[in-house]
Amino acid sequence: MDRKEESYSIREQIFLMFMPFCTLISIISLLTNKNDIRSNVLFIIAIAYFTTLTYLSYKKVSIPIIHRLGIYVLIFLILPVLWLREVEYFPLNITYTILIFMLLNYLTVGKERITLNILGITLLESLLLIFHDKIQTTTPWIILFPLVFLFLALLLITIERAYEIEKLNTQEREDKLTKLTRIDHLTGLYNRNYMEQKLKSVHNIWKRGVQTYSLIMLDIDYFKDYNDYYGHIKGDNCLKIISSILQEQITRDTDYAFRYGGEEFLIILGFTDVYGAEFVANKIKAAIDVAKIEHNSSKISNYITISMGISTINETYNSFSDLLLMTDKALYQAKNSGRNRVIHYKEDSLVTT
């Protein structure tokens, strides 16, 4: 995957920059104390290695592969080599071992984390046993070091879990806030503000030469009379039923249903030509007819009916606003032609479907 198409997480950024930074600090410290340049060889190699990983990550090399490669090299190559070559620097080795275990527990999860901790502590125990005499430690240290690293691993896991839970809670709060700004609270459909954003997005996709799109605007016939006759609570329930029918009929990921205002609704049908739009409109109309929502104050039926206007994008429209205007014009004509019908706007003509 191309690096340009993705962004780094905090973990990956820490992973790529942490070890080069630490090894650079170590080199400066050793040179300041006038140590032999040979004692810096391992650290110079480490800087070169992680700098190479950083460079490769910006190329077409998969980040997860680099991520995992670095972790395993840390545990099974750099850690033992650190002890084998620089055992006389015992405090420095212990410091780096702690940092490596911290990095290990921060960058891995699940069974991999448990397995690497077991293998890493076993490796550390083996190194301590091998160099027990050289580092002049007492026997309790052979037991204490693994216990310290095990405690450190558990502590880091606990901290990370708390961080992940807080991150999840924050995301949930943001999702709820986003939903409140996009959803009409009565019907559960998208609201008009979000409709304008989505319509602009769909139109921009069409301008890039992608497949056409269509709009359907629908209005509940004689809804004011319905409210006056049955009351506003019944009126709200009617809107909810119509909205539920729309959600049942609009099932594709590229289609969106909105409450346009009052008893009017708008549907965006992505990748849909005029024939597809007419099919969807007639399907919605048939579903509402089947629902048989009582409307004794209607002048054309004893049940709720709808009028619908359709338009399909083409090169004659300068913007999505023009298409929306033509859709509204088709709906207006459907209502003036007796209601309970579907009218399709087509290049300055209105066609009943």
Query: Beta partners for 254?
Result: none
Closest Cα to residue 309, out of 285, 287, 332, 284? 332
263 is catalytic: yes
Question: Tokens 């995992």 correspond to what residue?
Answer: 68
Strand order, beta sheet including 213-220: 255-261, 264-270, 213-220, 306-312, 342-346, 349-352
Structure tokens, 198: 């989505």
Q: Which residues contact 255 (CB under 8 A, 6 or more apart)?
A: 267, 268, 269, 270, 272, 280
Distance, in Å, from the CA atom of 50 to the CA atom of 38, rounded to the nearest integer, reads 20
- The CA distances from residue 44 to 39, 47, 74, 215, 272, in Å, are 10, 5, 15, 63, 60
Q: Which residue out of 5, 112, 263, 294 is catalytically annotated?
A: 263
DSSP string, 41-56: HHHHHHHHHHHHHHHH
Distance CA 287, CA 107 (A): 53
47 token code pair: 């800087």
**What CA–CA distances, in Å, run from 184 to 223, 279, 308?**
19, 26, 21
In sequence order, what are the beta bridge partners of 265? 218, 259
Which residue carries 């033509």 as its tokens?
326
Q: Which residues are catalytic?
A: 263
